[in-house]
Amino acid sequence: MNTNDFQQFRELIDGVYDFYNRRPNDFHRDVWWQAMQAYDYAAVADAMNRHLMNPDTGQFLPKPADIVKMIRGTTTDSALVAWAKVEESIRKVGPYDSVAFDDPLINRVIQDMGGWIKLCEVSGDELPFKRNEFANRYRGYASRSEVPDYPRALPGIAEHQNVQADLPVQPPKLIGNQERAQRVLEGGSDRKGLEVGTAGKSAMRLLGHRPDDDEAEEGAA
């Protein structure tokens, strides 16, 4: 959402609170606005409506985390969806081409695991173990309140060879939603060693992940 959505979003929050015979104050509205800005207004309104009709939770006033879960599912769901995209790309793209995924966390996690080429070289028997490692790392990052710094793209064999030979490097293949992948490409870093920090905050609009108590493992292959 952007500032053009603020008024109708405020009316939505006021209406939801009124449904539960509550009255929001400015603090409530500010918290909701900050928590929901990563999403389209239509998605937020739909998630609110589904919460109100949910027979298990609909009797309770929703919290931002409830609506995030309605929109995105759990971090486990997101991690498995992300891995499915990675596994398909391993088969269809392979290690030769550089890649940029439409989810910045995928780029970061693969780099933490040793890079795109190394992941593509994993045997079929090892792939389930790599899936578990990927999912654990992804969930750890997804649980934080900010997106870490992430590589703009993951170099393949051709890029490594061309850089060493001082030859032109082809743009990476964009994986997933092309527009989102392009934004990830433009917002990422070229630095080899990346730290968890605030530089990736703009990517939150692509993800909408929110904190819980998990933390990502870093550096272990």
- Residue 110 domain-assigned (yes or no): yes
At 37, is the secondary structure helix, strand, or coil?
coil
- Residue 216 domain-assigned (yes or no): no
Most confident option among 51-55, 141-145, 196-200, 209-213: 51-55
Per-residue pLDDT, 41: 86
Same domain assignment for residues 64 and 80: no
Average pLDDT over residues 74-93: 88
**Does pLDDT of 209 surpass 50?**
no
- Residue 159 domain-assigned (yes or no): yes
Same domain assignment for residues 101 and 154: yes
Last residue of a domain, one of 22, 45, 72: 72
Total count of domains within the chain? 2
- Residue 53 domain-assigned (yes or no): yes
195 near 189, Cβ under 8 Å?
no
pLDDT band at 16 (very low <50, low <70, confident <90, very high): very high
The sign of the dihedral angle between the CA atoms of 92, 98, 102, 103 is positive
Write out the residue range of the structural domain in which residue 46 sits. Answer: 3-72
**Paired tokens of 39:** 């999403």
**Does pLDDT of 172 surpass 70?**
yes
Cα–Cα–Cα angle for 129, 189, 150, nearest 5°? 30
- Residue 200 domain-assigned (yes or no): yes
**This prediction's pTM:** 0.61
Instruction: Convert the pLDDT of each residue in 88-104 to its tens digit.
Output: 999 999 999 999 999 99
- Residue 82 domain-assigned (yes or no): yes
Same domain assignment for residues 121 and 56: no
Last residue of a domain, one of 53, 72, 91: 72
- Residue 165 domain-assigned (yes or no): yes
**Does pLDDT of 187 surpass 80?**
yes
**Does pLDDT of 27 surpass 80?**
yes
Residue 120 Cα distances to 40, 61, 89, angstroms? 35, 46, 9
Same domain assignment for residues 22 and 100: no
